Amino acid sequence: MATVLERFADWAVAFRAQPLASEVVHHARRAVIDLHAAMISGAVEAPATLLERALAEELDRGEARLALGRRAAVRAAGLINGAAAHTTEVDDIFRDGIYHPGAPTIPAALALAQSLGASGEAFLRAVVVGYEISTRIGAAMGRAHYRYWHNTGTIGCFGSCAAAAELLGLDAKRFAHALATVTTFSAGLQQSFRQDSMSKPLHAGRAAEAGLTAALAAREGVIGSLDVIDGEAGYGRAMSDGPDWDKAVATLGKDFHITRMTFKNHTCCGHTFAAIDGALALQAKMGLKAQDIARVHVGTYKAALDVAGYEEPRTAAEGRFSLKYVVATALTHGSVRFAAFAPARLSDPATRELMHHIDVAVDPQLDAAFPAQRAARVAIEARDGRREEFLQPTRIGDPDAPLSDAQLDAKFLELAGPVLGDAAARAQLASLWKIDSRPTLRPGAGG
C-alpha cells in the first residue's frame, strides 16, 4: 500500500493536468496579497533586518528578491522573507490546522519562481498545492501536536516543500522523497516564544528554507524514508497521537482549503481575536467608555491562555501575546493595530489600569470546540452596576465571517503603504491581483 507521502505526491502530479477553478484562483490571489502585506511590514523589523546582516554573503546575487527588492539566493530569500512575513502577526491562518500557511509557503514559492523565471500562473498553482498538502497534515496532527509544537514551523515545511516540488515539476517519486526529507527537518517549539524572543518568526523562515532545500535535493536524487510520516516510529506517532491519514487525503482536489483561510483583522496573536471582537461588540452595545468599565471577564479556549498569557508585557512581541493587554487596548483605544505596540501605548496608564480589572479563564464548552471554532465569552461589569455577557462565536476574518476583497485591499495599503509609499503600494496591490497573468516572475524580465 502506498504511504501517505506517496498519496500526496501522486495527487499533486495528477493535479497538474487539471485547470484551477476560478474560485480557487481568486482565493489564492487573496492569500498572496495578504502574505505580501505581512511580509512587507515585517521586512523593516527584526529579525529580518538582522538576518540580512547575518546572511550578507548570500545577498546581492541570485534571481530571487527580498520583500523590498534586494537580490538574494533562493534559500536566503525564503528564510528572510518567511521570517518577515510572520513578524508582525498579521499573516493568514488555517483554523483547523492551527497553522499559518502563508508565511512559509508563499515566500518559498516566490523565491523559486523568481529564480526559475516561472510564470505567475505556475507560482499560484504551486501555492495552492503547498496549502492543500500542508493544511491536511496540520489538521491530521491536531491538538495533540499543538500542545508542544509550533505548527507554522513544523507543518510549514510541508507547505514550502510541496510548493517548491510543484514549481520544479518533480515526478511523483521525487516529490514524495522531497516530502520525506522535509519531514525530518520539521521543528519549532512553543516554549521558544513563551519568553521574549525572535524565534517564532524564525520558525516560519526556517520552514520556508527547509522546504526549498528538500525539494532541490530531491530533484538531484536525494531520497528519504517514504514511511517517515505514517510508519511505526514515524512523525504521526512521535509528534501527535496517531493521526488518521486516510481522512487527511480523502478530500484532496475536492475541498480546497485555500478557500477557507482566516485573514487577520488585528495585529496580534490570532488566539486573542474572538476576545477582542467580543469585547468591542459588547462595549458598543452597552454604550461604555473605557473609564466606565469596572471589570471584564473573558472565557475562552485553553490554547489562547497558554499562548497569549503574558500578564505584564514589556515589549511589542510580548504585547501581541498578552490577551489582557490586547483586550484592554481595544476597549481603551478602539482597535488593535500597529500603534497598539508602540512604546508609548504599551505603557499607557489607562490601558494598564484596565488590564488589572480583566480576568481570563478557560471556558470548558469553548475549549471543547477548539480548533474548529475559536470563540470567546465576554462579560463586562459597568461602574453604574450594569452587567452584560456576549458570546463571540467566531473571529472577524474567519471563513464564516470573512474579510471582503475591499477590506483586504485596505489592510494591504495600511501595512505596506508606510514602508513602500502609498503610490508604490497601490501599484503593487494592482499587480498582485493580476499575478497569474504575468508570463514570468523574474524581476526585470517583463514580469
pLDDT in tens, 143-184: 999 999 999 999 999 999 999 999 999 999 999 999 999 999
Task: Enter the DSSP assignment of 262.
Answer: B
Residue at 248 is within a domain:
yes
Residue at 72 is within a domain:
yes
E strands, 204-263, are none
pLDDT of 440 > 50? The answer is yes
Residue at 42 is within a domain:
yes
Residue 447: band (very low, low, confident or very high) from pLDDT cuts 50, 70, 90: very low
Which helix (H) or strand (E) segment holds residue 192: the answer is none
Give the rounded percent of residues in the chain with a pLDDT score beyond 70.
99
Say if strands 293-300 and 376-382 run parallel, antiparallel, or are unpaired: antiparallel
Let me know whether 193 and 296 are in one domain: no
Let me know whether 193 and 217 are in one domain: yes
Let me know whether 61 and 34 are in one domain: yes
Q: Span 311-329, mean pLDDT?
A: 95
Let me know whether 220 and 322 are in one domain: no
Let me know whether 119 and 152 are in one domain: yes
Nearest partner of 99 among 144, 154, 59, 147, judged by Cα: 154
Handedness of CA 344, 345, 347, 351 (dihedral sign): positive
Residue 289: band (very low, low, confident or very high) from pLDDT cuts 50, 70, 90: very high
CA–CA dist 403, 422 (Å, integer): 21
CA–CA dist 394, 274 (Å, integer): 6
What pLDDT score was predicted for residue 37? 98
What is the pLDDT of the chain when averaged over all its residues? 97
Angle, helix 120-146 to helix 102-116, in steps of 10 degrees: 150
Let me know whether 120 and 87 are in one domain: yes
DSSP of 95-140 = GGGTB--HHHHHHHHHHHHHHHT--HHHHHHHHHHHHHHHHHHHHH
What pLDDT score was predicted for residue 56? 98
pLDDT in tens, 403-437: 999 999 999 999 999 999 999 999 999 999 999 99
Largest CA distance in the chain: 72
Let me know whether 85 and 195 are in one domain: yes
Residue at 101 is within a domain:
yes
- Structural domain count of the chain: 2
Give the rounded percent of residues in the chain with a pLDDT score beyond 90.
97
Residue at 442 is within a domain:
no
Let me know whether 260 and 277 are in one domain: no
What pLDDT score was predicted for residue 384? 97
pLDDT in tens, 389-403: 999 999 999 999 999
Let me know whether 122 and 86 are in one domain: yes
Residue 380: band (very low, low, confident or very high) from pLDDT cuts 50, 70, 90: very high
The domain in which residue 137 lies consists of 4-265+404-437
Which is more confident, 53 or 195? 53
The structure's pTM equals 0.94
pLDDT in tens, 17-66: 999 999 999 999 999 999 999 999 999 999 999 999 999 999 999 999 99
The CATH number of the domain holding residue 427 is: 1.10.4100.10
Q: Three-state DSSP class for 229?
A: coil
Let me know whether 410 and 359 are in one domain: no
Let me know whether 280 and 315 are in one domain: yes
Q: Span 98-126, mean pLDDT?
A: 98
Residue at 443 is within a domain:
no
b/e burial code for range 141-163 (CB count within 10 A of at least 16 → b): bbeebbeebbbbbbbbbbbbbbb
What pLDDT score was predicted for residue 327? 98
Residue at 426 is within a domain:
yes
What pLDDT score was predicted for residue 194? 86
Residue at 23 is within a domain:
yes
DSSP of 332-388 = HHS--SGGGGSHHHHT-HHHHHHHTTEEEEE-HHHHHHTTT---EEEEEEETTS-EE
The CATH number of the domain holding residue 346 is: 3.30.1330.120
Torsion of CA 435, 439, 440, 444, to 10 degrees: -100
What pLDDT score was predicted for residue 348? 96
What pLDDT score was predicted for residue 25? 98
What pLDDT score was predicted for residue 248? 96
Let me know whether 309 and 291 are in one domain: yes
